[in-house]
Chain A
């Protein structure tokens, strides 16, 4: 492993991890923009813009973009979250130059009006598709309720109304502001030559406009609440919950990760034994979501509707016990083994390393090797978990539920 880092004059940051033994190379542009950086009148624009990148540039038509990526056999795509828009590709090393060139081109798309109107239809279909998925509905409303009044409460997809009303001109203005070079990180992992990559980066990205748009990151102070959405005809009740957890910059994030593995991993966790193994829930998990300036424990279970209230009580009993007594040495040792093995497996592919490399730099400005991560995980003690729980106890602060129930825990649909 060999690490390199540089910054262009316009502010574009570049991080690279070379692993010559692997067969492929993965690269990605991490744009520090997402739903939280939007305003009401452009709700959903970050995600829509991510789609528009594939609809062509001044030099490439939409057909060209997809064709050229396919010609080199690239595994490529893009994603948009509350905080990051990511454009990435994994390819064989010999195709790095043309893939890099195309990827760098598409994040400055032409935004032609006819393409914009056509892609709008696809976005509306995507919204329709997610509307039919109870877990997505539960997540949208959970974020909206938990982060009420905070930028993280904004919807990634936007609504039918906001997307329908959106104009290409508004997207251009958003792009000009948010896609300034200082707001973008370029990361590359796998089999490549650093010198050549650095030269290409200058050639492709030096002319990009400079700029570092602001992003306020106050820590959210959720007041909590309950949001019940009735979905007739649905057979299961879906319950999703959040409570405050350490933000992405916090040194407690590793402890938070291990804690949620002990409490809510998909096998062998407390929630598994109390809810899933006896058949009270089809699935029951809790995980740790880190955001810029804020964090959240996110729990989820789905079950027979008439078991939902008792499951909420079962989860509370688990949380009460853990908050009071912490976790056992045996539980923590098991969680360390699980997490360590996941780190090793994930890092075998350049695509897995790209994600870790990019997010570590974007959120914390740090480079961490696989060995660093393993050492940190192995160093965690039950006392660390106890201290974490004092700062961020497990709670059911906010609940969003979707299913056939008309009332649940005092809330009415």
Chain B
């Protein structure tokens, strides 16, 4: 692969700008991370950040809410706003010529939002409704609730907030969160696509270089939920969520951990798909993925199946997770390496995925791993390295959550 050019610049106020110019695309994309995520929600007011990320776009600088949306739409910007544990995230992609104008609007959104009182309630109701929509989607619900039970609060607390928390929210809660947290310290802006590097550095310096710094914010920690739990839900299928400890992205064993999960759930020839779905027909959807916070990592596993077959699905899935430590065939690792290679190369076709990827790298590592570097690390993996990782981080001490008509038994003695 041709070596990427990555330019990074940290401004005196703390904001880090990362730029990756791409030769073969006509678009440009950005990913702006602002350190005002759900971890900083006031206790009992879970959802303050989630409401803020909607409210904050309802007027900024010299534009009211409607003008702001119209301007972004006129730029053809495909955009998304979201909330994570540590950061609010704003992403957008459009034709390259429109990027500077879009960035100017986002600079206003994060530095001088109006946060008008009369727009708070619609934003709050919107979040309350989306939480209710999740209640109606059992597949999503089980994984959100699984996180709550395998990570301590606030890391496991749903980033979107809770219905109780959101019902209590007042404008002061989200405004206070903005005042306290939303500044350039630990803020990250990733830009990728057809861009000129010096001009972009200059532009971002003008737009965000004077963003006023704030002291680092803190949050309170709390306990996680039960490691074995069942949520009653009248549904055709039972949803199964399983979690166990692994390593975070910055850990030197990360790629071995990634490959181990990929053996379980990388492609359609992976173990979970083959054993649970193809050989036994137990479910339509089953997967495992490696989830990484900055300091902790978990393997999160999902299966959804009709209630009468749920017990067998749980038994077979757990057996496969445990069996991984007994041995891995060289071909299994080779297939993971092939999948990684094509994913990495195809990433170069999308400015959006590169912008998000460089911003995420900076958050986790304080640097950007180039695609070649990732590829070398993955190509260097061997079966003994994977087994060594599994010995150090075995599939045990499971957190298991089910959601459906009946609870299940956890049979760990199965072989």
B122 touches A341 (CB 8 A): no
Q: A90-B346, A348-B26 are in contact. Are A304 and B129 (CB under 8 A)?
A: yes
Check A128 for interface membership: any CB of B closer than 8 A: yes
Interface residues of A in 269-302 (CB under 8 A from B): 272-273, 276-279, 281-283, 302
Check B130 for interface membership: any CB of A closer than 8 A: yes
Check A397 for interface membership: any CB of B closer than 8 A: no
Residue of B nearest to A70 (CB): B267
Check A382 for interface membership: any CB of B closer than 8 A: no
Residues of A within 8 A of B342 (CB): 24, 72-75, 91-92
- CB contact between A63 and one of B24, B65, B269 (< 8 Å): that residue: B269
- Which of the segments A196-204, A207-215, A332-340 contacts the partner chain? A332-340
A23 touches B269 (CB 8 A): no
A302 touches B268 (CB 8 A): no
Q: A121-B282, A125-B284, A345-B93 are in contact. Are A132 and B349 (CB under 8 A)?
A: no
Check A233 for interface membership: any CB of B closer than 8 A: yes
Residue of B nearest to A123 (CB): B284
A268 touches B69 (CB 8 A): yes
- Which of the segments B11-19, B41-49, B234-242, B383-391 contacts the partner chain? B234-242
A279 touches B346 (CB 8 A): no
Residue of A nearest to B235 (CB): A132
Q: How far is the CA of A272 from the CA of B72 in the complex (A)?
A: 14
A23 touches B345 (CB 8 A): yes
Quote the shortest CB–CB distance from A323 to chain B (angstroms). 23
Q: How far is the CA of A350 from the CA of B342 in the complex (A)?
A: 13
Residues of B within 8 A of A71 (CB): 334-335, 338
- Which of the segments B172-180, B221-229, B273-281 contacts the partner chain? B273-281
Quote the shortest CB–CB distance from A388 to chain B (angstroms). 21
Quote the shortest CB–CB distance from A77 to chain B (angstroms). 9
Number of A positions contacting B (CB below 8 A): 66
- CB contact between A341 and one of B78, B234, B274, B305 (< 8 Å): that residue: B78
- CB contact between A122 and one of B122, B125, B277 (< 8 Å): that residue: B277
Q: A22-B24, A341-B94 are in contact. Are A236 and B133 (CB under 8 A)?
A: yes
- CB contact between B74 and one of A72, A91, A236, A337 (< 8 Å): that residue: A337
Check A140 for interface membership: any CB of B closer than 8 A: no
Residue of B nearest to A118 (CB): B281
A334 touches B74 (CB 8 A): yes
Residues of B within 8 A of A69 (CB): 267-269
Residue of A nearest to B130 (CB): A282
- Which of the segments B135-143, B153-161, B246-254, B355-363 contacts the partner chain? B135-143
Check A62 for interface membership: any CB of B closer than 8 A: yes
B346 touches A23 (CB 8 A): yes
Quote the shortest CB–CB distance from A90 to chain B (angstroms). 7
Q: How far is the CA of A345 from the CA of B277 in the complex (A)?
A: 35
Interface residues of A in 115-143 (CB under 8 A from B): 118-126, 128-129, 131-134
Q: How far is the CA of A348 from the CA of B28 in the complex (A)?
A: 11
Q: Interface digits, B54-69 against A, CB 8 Å rule (1 contact, 0 not)?
A: 0000000000011001
Check B328 for interface membership: any CB of A closer than 8 A: no
Residues of B within 8 A of A342 (CB): 76, 78
Quote the shortest CB–CB distance from B121 to chain A (angstroms). 7
A236 touches B129 (CB 8 A): yes
Check B341 for interface membership: any CB of A closer than 8 A: yes
A125 touches B306 (CB 8 A): yes
Check B77 for interface membership: any CB of A closer than 8 A: yes
Check B339 for interface membership: any CB of A closer than 8 A: yes
Residues of A within 8 A of B123 (CB): 279
Check B207 for interface membership: any CB of A closer than 8 A: no
B76 touches A338 (CB 8 A): yes
Interface residues of B in 275-296 (CB under 8 A from A): 277-285
A279 touches B126 (CB 8 A): yes
Residues of B within 8 A of A369 (CB): none
A344 touches B136 (CB 8 A): no
Q: Interface digits, A227-247 against B, CB 8 Å rule (1 contact, 0 not)?
A: 000001111100000000000
B345 touches A279 (CB 8 A): no
Check B95 for interface membership: any CB of A closer than 8 A: yes
Check A349 for interface membership: any CB of B closer than 8 A: yes
B350 touches A126 (CB 8 A): no
Residue of B nearest to A67 (CB): B269
A125 touches B282 (CB 8 A): yes
A348 touches B346 (CB 8 A): no
- CB contact between A24 and one of B78, B130, B345 (< 8 Å): that residue: B345
Quote the shortest CB–CB distance from B264 to chain A (angstroms). 13
B345 touches A92 (CB 8 A): yes
Interface residues of B in 295-352 (CB under 8 A from A): 304-306, 309, 331, 334-335, 338-343, 345-346, 348-352
A70 touches B281 (CB 8 A): no
Q: A268-B73, A349-B350 are in contact. Are A134 and B136 (CB under 8 A)?
A: yes
Q: A125-B283, A132-B235, A132-B237 are in contact. Are A282 and B132 (CB under 8 A)?
A: yes
Residues of A within 8 A of B278 (CB): 62-63, 66, 118
Residue of A nearest to B129 (CB): A282
Residues of A within 8 A of B304 (CB): 125, 129
Residues of B within 8 A of A48 (CB): none
Check B89 for interface membership: any CB of A closer than 8 A: no
Residue of B nearest to A303 (CB): B129
Residue of B nearest to A124 (CB): B306
Q: How far is the CA of A350 from the CA of B24 in the complex (A)?
A: 13
A24, A73, A235, A265 interface centre (most CB from chain B within 10 Å): A73
Check B402 for interface membership: any CB of A closer than 8 A: no
Quote the shortest CB–CB distance from B240 to chain A (angstroms). 13
Check B50 for interface membership: any CB of A closer than 8 A: no
Q: How far is the CA of A235 from the CA of B132 in the complex (A)?
A: 6
Check A218 for interface membership: any CB of B closer than 8 A: no
A126 touches B284 (CB 8 A): yes
19 contacts between A and B (CB under 8 A): A66-B267, A67-B335, A70-B267, A73-B340, A73-B341, A75-B343, A118-B280, A124-B306, A132-B235, A132-B236, A265-B73, A282-B133, A334-B74, A337-B73, A341-B98, A348-B26, A348-B350, A349-B346, A349-B350
- Could you list 10 further interchain pairs (A-B, Cβ under 8 angstroms) beyond the known A24-B345, A268-B69, A276-B126? A24-B342, A69-B267, A70-B270, A72-B342, A74-B342, A125-B283, A129-B284, A342-B76, A348-B27, A349-B346
Pairs A-B, 10 closest by C-beta atoms: A341-B76, A121-B281, A73-B342, A279-B125, A282-B129, A70-B267, A73-B338, A279-B122, A235-B132, A66-B269
Which residues of B come within 8 Å of A, CB atoms?
Answer: 24-27, 65-66, 69-70, 72-79, 93-95, 98, 121-126, 129-130, 132-133, 135-139, 233-237, 266-270, 273-274, 277-285, 304-306, 309, 331, 334-335, 338-343, 345-346, 348-352
